[in-house]
Structure 1
Amino acid sequence: MADLTVGLLDTSIFIARETGRPIDLHSVPLEAAVSTVTIGELRWGVLMATDDEARSRRLDTLNAAQRFEPIVIDERVAAAWALLRQRLKGQGLKMGVNDSWIAATAIAHGWPVVTQDLGFPEGIAGLQVVVV
């Protein structure tokens, strides 16, 4: 059973904040964590910005995410990732590689993924998703 007092914030939560997309704050767990994968995705967004305004906005988003101590990919996360990928294949489901690393991080720590991304399929053992 996932610990609903802590949630792993997916990259989409930070993008929602950046773009002004509403977030259902009542559904967000009391404590939050961030994967190093999210930090990487946000850093890539800064590098890919096409103008100074977008770069500045994206840098602010990256800085907000970096206020959290990033959860690293370790042996436990790697094992959860391999099992997750096997389960996805067995059920004929797809998930992006970065999303699967974020999901594996959440699974390894017993946390739900807090997201606005519909790329996290339902019905995967060990994966709990909170859509906000």
Structure 2
Amino acid sequence: MTVPLADTSLFIAIEQGRPLRAAPPKRALVSTITVGELRLGVLAAPDATVAARRLRTLEKALEAEPVPVDAVVAEVWAALRAGLRERERWMPINDSWIAATAIAHGIPVATQDDDYDDVPGLEVVKL
């Protein structure tokens, strides 16, 4: 199996002890968008205990190979957003960046979210 791009939802599910449909991949890539989302979670934590738990999750994500947003990802993202608008479909901005990253690199997204369903050209692995 191709190494997937782990969506933020996977890290949060593991942090919160939510069940996964299957075992998480032994090796995964991580979007710099996911790193930013997890870092925001640490900064926005309501107390020190939650912040510490979220920091451990962020540190786990940082163990994965990062996949940055570059010019190719930006081009794919713009086309993806235009296509979504044309189809009158809504998708969270950060999820669309993660989807564009996966499409640009030809890799699947591993997620618990439904936001990636029906994105043209995107392989989704539901965990």
User: Which residue of 2 is the match for residue 18 of structure 1?
Assistant: 15
Tell me, in whole angstroms, the C-alpha distance in 2 between the residues paired with 1:120 and 1:5: 18
Tell me, in whole angstroms, the C-alpha distance in 2 between the residues paired with 1:98 and 1:20: 23
When the two structures are superposed, what TM-score results if normalisation uses the length of structure 1?
0.90
Is 1:130 aligned to residue 103 of structure 2? Answer: no
Tell me, in whole angstroms, the C-alpha distance in 1 between the residues paired with 2:83 and 2:48: 42
Aligned residues: 127
Identity over aligned residues, as a percent? Answer: 53
Specify which of 31, 49, 52 is matched with residue 48 of structure 2: 52
Which amino acid in the other structure matches residue 35 of structure 1?
S
Tell me, in whole angstroms, the C-alpha distance in 2 between the residues paired with 1:30 and 1:87: 33
Tell me, in whole angstroms, the C-alpha distance in 1 between the residues paired with 2:2 and 2:27: 6
- Listed as ranges, the gaps of 5+ residues in structure 1 are none
User: Which residue of 2 is the match for residue 6 of structure 1?
Assistant: 3
CA contact (8 A) 1:5 1:30 kept: no
- Listed as ranges, the gaps of 5+ residues in structure 2 are none
| CA RMSD, 1 decimal | 1.4
Query: How far is 1:121 from its partner?
Result: 3.0
When the two structures are superposed, what TM-score results if normalisation uses the length of structure 2?
0.93
Tell me, in whole angstroms, the C-alpha distance in 1 between the residues paired with 2:26 and 2:12: 20
User: Which residue of 2 is the match for residue 99 of structure 1?
Assistant: 95
CA contact (8 A) 1:5 1:29 kept: no
Which amino acid in the other structure matches residue 130 of structure 1?
V
Specify which of 109, 112, 123 is matched with residue 108 of structure 2: 112
CA contact (8 A) 1:11 1:38 kept: yes
Moved over 4 A (4+): none
Specify which of 79, 83, 87 is matched with residue 87 of structure 1: 83
